[in-house]
């Protein structure tokens, strides 16, 4: 991003204080990025435009929830846009009944190895994705960046749905292990 992180964080903070000029400025500086997000995930200009509108309404309404802990301000904005676009996708997808993800989990023990996450470690994902096989890293990226569902990923990689699901879930565990190593 060409913008300085501090500037964007400042604009979000002022937006939380109901500063309309700051909100306008925030829009001018970040709307191209967020439109890039909604357009890539929704793959339809009109839908992406409508989503962008909703996204900035949410940003105005939720600016006070941005806390500078870990998330970079632009990542927070991207997350709002990405999550909204994914909500739109989910709403128009049929429920995938052949995927049994229902699990009953009786209790959860505390996880002592779970350490606080430092923002500086973020770049590690590149290395960790690099450790996955090419196809699998691509699938993770496709899910994150394009909002692909298991169905779409299976079609793109020419594998049965359940195979894709097993693949990706294993890859996610591997990735998780690498990321917290």
- Shortest gap between Cβ of 145 and another protein (angstroms)? 6
- Shortest gap between Cβ of 106 and another protein (angstroms)? 8
- Residues across the chain: 181
CA-wise closest residue to 93 among 41, 40, 141: 41
- Shortest gap between Cβ of 85 and another protein (angstroms)? 9
Q: Match 């292990």 to its residue by tokens.
A: 177
d(CA 165, CA 154): 8
CB-based contact 91:147 (threshold 8 Å): no
Minimum CB distance to another protein smaller for 122 or for 157: 122
Scanning the chain, the segments in alpha helix (DSSP H) are 5-16, 20-42, 45-62, 73-92, 124-131, 134-146, 150-157, 161-179
- Shortest gap between Cβ of 74 and another protein (angstroms)? 7
- Shortest gap between Cβ of 116 and another protein (angstroms)? 8
CB-based contact 145:163 (threshold 8 Å): no
Q: Match 């309309």 to its residue by tokens.
A: 20
């Amino acid at each position: 991003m060409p913008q300085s992180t501090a500037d964007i964080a400042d604009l979000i903070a002022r937006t939380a204080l109901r500063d309309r000029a700051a909100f306008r400025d925030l829009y001018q500086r970040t709307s191209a990025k967020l439109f890039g997000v909604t357009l890539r995930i929704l793959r339809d200009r009109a839908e992406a435009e409508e989503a962008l509108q909703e996204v900035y309404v949410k940003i105005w309404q939720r600016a006070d929830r941005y806390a500078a802990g870990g998330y970079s301000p632009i990542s927070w904005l991207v997350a709002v846009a990405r999550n909204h676009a994914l909500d739109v996708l989910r709403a128009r997808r049929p429920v995938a009944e052949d995927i049994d993800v229902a699990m009953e989990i009786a209790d959860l023990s505390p996880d002592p190895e779970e350490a606080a996450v430092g923002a500086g470690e973020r770049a590690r994902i590149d290395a960790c994705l690099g450790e996955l096989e090419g196809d699998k890293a691509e699938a993770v990226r496709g899910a994150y960046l394009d909002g692909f569902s298991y169905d779409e990923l299976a079609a793109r990689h020419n594998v049965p749905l359940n195979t894709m699901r097993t693949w990706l879930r294993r890859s996610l565990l591997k990735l998780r292990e690498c990321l917290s190593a």
